[in-house]
Amino acid sequence: MSALPDAAPVLEVRGLRKSYRRGDEVVHALQGVELQVAAGELVVLLGRSGSGKTTLLSCILGWEDPDSGEVEVTAPGAATAWERTAVVPQQTGLLEELTLLENVALPARLAGVPAPRTAALHALEELQIAGEADRRPDAVSLGQAQRAALARALVVRPALLLADEPTSRLDEDLTRVVLAELRRRCHADGLAVLLASHDALATAYADRVVRLAEGRLAAG
């Protein structure tokens, strides 16, 4: 399955504005952002450092309140917040007391995924990180932790995945593994992905590329 032009959007962002005050200066991070991501679509969000990518993802997640504008996520089959919108933040947010496998199995269990440990192991295998399943986050590399965080997001089969630079710590081969797996999930399962990246390689796997500059989005 690939996104159809007339497919109902999973994510709709309308007129999003967000400014920050820094001393006497006002930073206009988002200045009327419009965006739709459909089921089955992998959208790559490009933009220089400081262009507002993280601010946009944070407003979509409700981690930050926009000054104005609307965000709508439509996920009819989602029973929990995780199944609606999953996130891979820049800081992975893995729980240090748990192994990678336990970190991935936890949301699976809470979301009622059948056989959560098996599902978690499978999600780790797909991202070539199952060999580290019994290690804790402080005993693996940042790139391995990043892939575990992505497995944790994908294990509940969310409608929408927001990922902030999920390949920033990976070499080219592993970046390709991660991007190919994301694309497979989009096209096979109807997952909608918004992936913020600096990496030109990401555009090769995208259905659509958008670029954030001066607080506005344009086709990339």
Q: Residues interacting with ligand ATP, by CB under 6 A?
A: 20, 22, 27, 29, 47, 49-55
CB of 82 to ligand ATP, least distance (A): 23
Interatomic CA distance for residues 211 and 195, integer angstroms: 11
Shortest spacing between CB 169 and ligand ATP, in angstroms = 14
Half-sphere exposure in the Cβ direction for 167 (13 Å, CA): 24
Q: Which is nearer to ligand ATP, 27 or 188 (CB)?
A: 27
Beta carbons within 8 Å of 168's beta carbon, 6+ residues apart:
90, 146, 198, 199
Outline where the chain has alpha helix (H): 53-61, 81-84, 100-110, 116-126, 142-154, 172-189, 200-204
H or E segment at 11? strand 9-22
Q: Amino acid identity of 44?
A: V
Nearest approach, Cβ of 184 to ligand ATP (angstroms)? 26
**Which tokens in the block code for residue 9?**
């959007």
Cβ closest to ligand ATP, residue 20 vs residue 63: 20
Which residues are paired to 70 by β-bridges? Answer: 14
Tell me the DSSP string of 113-169. -SSHHHHHHHHHHHTT-GGGTTS-GGGS-HHHHHHHHHHHHHTT--SEEEEESTTTT
Nearer to ligand ATP, 34 or 134 (CB): 34
Written as six digits, the tokens of 23 are: 């001393």
In terms of CB distance, is 110 or 213 closer to ligand ATP? Answer: 213
Shorter beta-carbon distance to ligand ATP: residue 54 or 175: 54
Q: Which is nearer to ligand ATP, 125 or 214 (CB)?
A: 214
